Amino acid sequence: MNKFRPFRFLAAAVMSLGCAALAPTATAAEDTGLDALSAIVEAWRTSPHADHGSLSFTYWNKDGAVPENCAACHSEPGFIDFLGADGSEAGIVNHPAAINSVIGCASCHTETAHALDSAVLPSGVTLEGLGGNATCTICHAGRASGDTVSAATTGIEEDTVSPDLAFINVHYGIAAAVMQGGEGRAGFHYPGKSYAGPFLHVRDADTCVACHDVHTTKVEPDGCLTCHRGVEELVDIRMRHDDFDGDADNSKGIQSEILGLHARLYAAIQAYARDVAGTPIGYGKGTFPYFFTDTNGDGTIGEDEAVFPNRYQSWTPRLLKAAYNYQVAAKDPGAYVHNPAYVLQLLHDSLENLSEQVSVDMQALSRP
């Protein structure tokens, strides 16, 4: 599977030239090599990593620099600094980094990045033997873990509203943490429950770079469908047949079970906030910090409600844990592939925990 070796000289050329001057000046490379190289540049250009207009690379433009705690994943020089590939200390960003700096060739193709084999998740768990997946794992692990939630809620009664609590956001694109399941502790784990470990899947599709084209970041479905026959779309894939979301329908993909359970959890979060915490809540999709007070009680968050001063502020530990796990599932749209059992467990247990206070019919719900 490793296509890297035959193209070593190209990767070396990439490193010495820097990306901007790449294709036209790599005269030493053979024609076929040049074609391959320009194909890679083209592929990368279409990827989200190269999207100059994205919020991921422009969010800090008003400040003029990306601060140290954001730069590792949102600016190429920040990532190089984090890896220590610029001669600085590894594992920390030493300086604010350039704005408008997308994740280019030099992010993943320095000697340091090539040699990198491990990454540390927000839970503190270190993953080894990552090879080409190490760079992906660093940036796609999120910024919080279930441990963050435990620490924030310790010592507060489960159903007591506390001004010391605020929503904890796991961050975005958290595939690498979700893939590790219970061992990575991306989600909040309820005491006494056990959680599925890393989703190993099958040998040809068990790492980021095995499934995602590293340059486009896209997943080529044909390879998947040689095993998963009879489905049109990847989201229709299903290998386990229990009814996890209680809708008595197991004819659709495992993704439909995750979405179904996610919607049930949302309803329970709303019921709990209204009846137990005493203040109605709603989710403002795409607006930080996501959970807002449903001031008019219509069950949805309108534009006027999705504003920071109206952020939800009646958190109890029980509500925060469920809302945190709700967001974990929301912020890995590929969770149905990365680790379906783990997210189903997180959603199931969150719902079960809320059912101690509000009415939820758990009878129909299987836990994987």
Q: How far is residue 349's CA from residue 322's CA, in Å, rounded to a whole number?
A: 9
Q: How far is the CB of 228 from ligand HEC (least distance, A)?
A: 6
Instruction: Give Rg (Cα) of the chain.
Output: 22
- Other C-beta atoms within 10 Å of 341: how many? 18
271 vs 304, 327, 360, CA distance in Å? 22, 17, 10
Q: How far is the CB of 281 from ligand HEC (least distance, A)?
A: 20
55 vs 296, which CB is nearer to ligand HEC?
55
Comparing CA positions, the residue from 63, 94, 69 lying closest to residue 80 is 94
Q: How far is the CB of 151 from ligand HEC (least distance, A)?
A: 18
Q: How far is the CB of 190 from ligand HEC (least distance, A)?
A: 21
137 vs 327, which CB is nearer to ligand HEC?
137
145 vs 350, which CB is nearer to ligand HEC?
145
Q: How far is the CB of 340 from ligand HEC (least distance, A)?
A: 4
Q: How far is the CB of 258 from ligand HEC (least distance, A)?
A: 10
For residue 341, give both structure tokens.
Answer: 């059992």
CB 185 within 8 A of CB 223: no
CA 334 to chain centre: 8
CB burial of residue 63 (10 Å; 0-12, 13-18, 19+): exposed
Those residues whose C-beta lies under 8 Å from the C-beta of residue 318, and which sit 6 or more positions away, are 158, 159, 272, 276, 353, 354, 356, 357
Q: How far is residue 44's CA from residue 52's CA, in Å, rounded to a whole number?
A: 12
Q: How far is the CB of 69 from ligand HEC (least distance, A)?
A: 5
